[in-house]
């Protein structure tokens, strides 16, 4: 939800993340040509005029030791339609239906409160927007048909949101000490704003056309000059009673203290304020003297027809026993078929 209201793409530029999602590559994942009997294969067997609606719920948590506080809650309702079904694939539509009022806790940050205001102000401009796309015969997305239209809307909203952001008292105070967000915003690739409209859609179809060996598997990769130390857990199973497939990925990466300093330091340097840069260099090592971890957990449940029923995406960034966690849950709300 947050990435749809495009301001988050700007805020994300201030954070360091290591995402393994969509890049999980292990010996337990197979192509359809190499399928074994003991594999879970996600294949879409859809019919023309099939329609499903989903609720997307997103929460943000602040973690400090054994305490965790939910700082924000967002939700939206979307619809998935099968427009046409052929032997070569499917033509489909994904439409944004509803954005309920966000909920915030008393501990919500300034940016989270700003996000709530932006959601209330601009969400209705997104309601009714439809992404048209095509898949192959397995249900894997192969083409988007109206991205130029979506991109135009995203850039317009982005411009309006930035103007609102510039008016925040906190942002004006940052400018006084050399943090001019307008200068930093110029470096953002606005073509990537489209990703905010496609995030949940990508999650729904990311496994289609893939087969995963049944069972539980763990792999570990040591750090190299180009790769972080990473431990990957994959599990796949079949529930014959309920007629469902389950797939889980859990990827934990170790983020060295040096890398965290380089990333955050690069953001500080971008504002070209000598006093701020000096203060950062003097204090970072004392305040952050251990490695951090970035974990991405993904859970998928599909019917035998390949219809996504539930998706859970959880991302956490931790330094020692403190950090932040984001959780997104996509749950099917209704389904109808002409068959």
Residue-level pLDDT at 269:
59
- Does 5 have pLDDT greater than 50? no
Please compute the mean of the pLDDT values over residues 128-133 and round it to a whole number: 96
- Residues 30-77: tens digit of each pLDDT: 555 555 568 999 999 999 999 999 999 999 888 887 888 888 888 999
- Does 237 have pLDDT greater than 60? yes
Residue-level pLDDT at 320:
80
CA dihedral 138, 142, 145, 150 (to 10 degrees): 110
Residue-level pLDDT at 41:
94
Q: Which of the four pLDDT bands, split at 50, 70 and 90, describes residue 302?
A: very high
- Residues 246-291: tens digit of each pLDDT: 999 999 999 887 777 666 666 555 555 566 666 666 666 666 768 8
Please compute the mean of the pLDDT values over residues 237-254 and round it to a whole number: 95
Residue-level pLDDT at 295:
93
Please tell me the distance from the alpha carbon of residue 330 to that of residue 302, in angstroms, as a whole number: 12
Per-range mean pLDDT, top range of 131-135, 171-175, 177-181: 131-135
Residue-level pLDDT at 35:
53
H-state helical runs in 221-309: 257-270, 274-287
Please compute the mean of the pLDDT values over residues 229-252 and round it to a whole number: 95
Residue-level pLDDT at 17:
39
Direct distance between the N- and C-terminal alpha carbons of the chain, in angstroms, rounded to an integer? 32
Residue-level pLDDT at 91:
98
- Does 239 have pLDDT greater than 70? yes
Residue-level pLDDT at 212:
94
- Does 20 have pLDDT greater than 50? no
Please tell me the distance from the alpha carbon of residue 56 to that of residue 25, in angstroms, as a whole number: 27
Count other C-beta atoms under 10 Å from residue 5's C-beta. Answer: 26
Q: Which of the four pLDDT bands, split at 50, 70 and 90, describes residue 230?
A: very high
Please tell me the distance from the alpha carbon of residue 94 to that of residue 187, in angstroms, as a whole number: 30
Nearest to 239 by CA among 247, 249, 228: 247
Q: Which of the four pLDDT bands, split at 50, 70 and 90, describes residue 325?
A: very high
- Residues 208-229: tens digit of each pLDDT: 999 999 999 999 999 888 888 9
Residue-level pLDDT at 16:
35
Percent residues over pLDDT 70 in the chain: 77
Q: Which of the four pLDDT bands, split at 50, 70 and 90, describes residue 176?
A: confident
Higher pLDDT, 288 or 325: 325
Residue-level pLDDT at 11:
35
Q: Which of the four pLDDT bands, split at 50, 70 and 90, describes residue 117?
A: confident
- Does 1 have pLDDT greater than 60? no
Please tell me the distance from the alpha carbon of residue 118 to that of residue 181, in angstroms, as a whole number: 18
User: To the nearest whole number, what is the mean pLDDT of the chain?
Assistant: 82
3-class secondary structure, 94:
strand
């Amino acid at each position: 939800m947050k990435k749809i209201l495009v301001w988050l793409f700007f805020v994300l530029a201030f954070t360091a993340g290591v995402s393994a999602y969509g890049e999980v590559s292990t010996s337990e994942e197979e192509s359809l040509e190499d399928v074994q009997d003991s594999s879970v294969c996600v294949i879409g067997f859809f019919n023309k005029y099939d329609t499903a609606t989903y609720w997307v719920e997103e929460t943000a948590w602040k973690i400090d030791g054994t305490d965790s506080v939910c700082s924000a809650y967002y939700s939206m309702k979307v619809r998935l339609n099968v427009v046409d079904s052929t032997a070569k694939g499917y033509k489909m539509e994904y439409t944004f239906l509803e954005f309920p009022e966000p909920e915030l806790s008393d501990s919500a940050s300034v940016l989270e409160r700003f996000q709530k205001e932006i959601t209330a102000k601009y969400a209705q401009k997104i309601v009714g927007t439809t992404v048209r796309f095509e898949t192959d015969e397995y249900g894997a997305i192969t083409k988007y048909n109206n991205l130029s239209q979506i991109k135009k809307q995203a850039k317009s909203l982005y411009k309006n949101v930035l103007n609102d952001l510039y008016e925040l008292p906190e942002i004006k105070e940052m400018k006084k000490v050399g943090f001019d967000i307008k200068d930093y915003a110029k470096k953002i690739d606005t073509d990537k704003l489209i990703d905010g409209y496609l995030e949940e859609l990508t999650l729904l179809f990311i496994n289609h056309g893939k087969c995963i060996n049944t069972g539980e598997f763990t792999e570990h990769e040591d750090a190299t000059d180009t790769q972080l130390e990473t431990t990957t857990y994959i599990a796949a199973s079949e529930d014959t009673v309920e007629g469902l497939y389950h797939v889980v990925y859990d990827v934990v990466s170790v983020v060295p203290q040096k890398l965290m300093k380089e990333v955050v330091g690069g953001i500080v340097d971008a504002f070209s304020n000598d006093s701020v840069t000096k203060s950062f260099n003097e204090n970072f090592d004392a305040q952050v003297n251990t490695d951090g971890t970035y974990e991405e957990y993904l859970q998928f449940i599909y019917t035998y027809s390949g219809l996504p029923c539930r998706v859970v995406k959880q991302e956490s960034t931790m330094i020692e026993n403190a950090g932040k966690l984001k959780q997104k849950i996509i749950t099917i709300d209704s389904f109808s078929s002409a068959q």
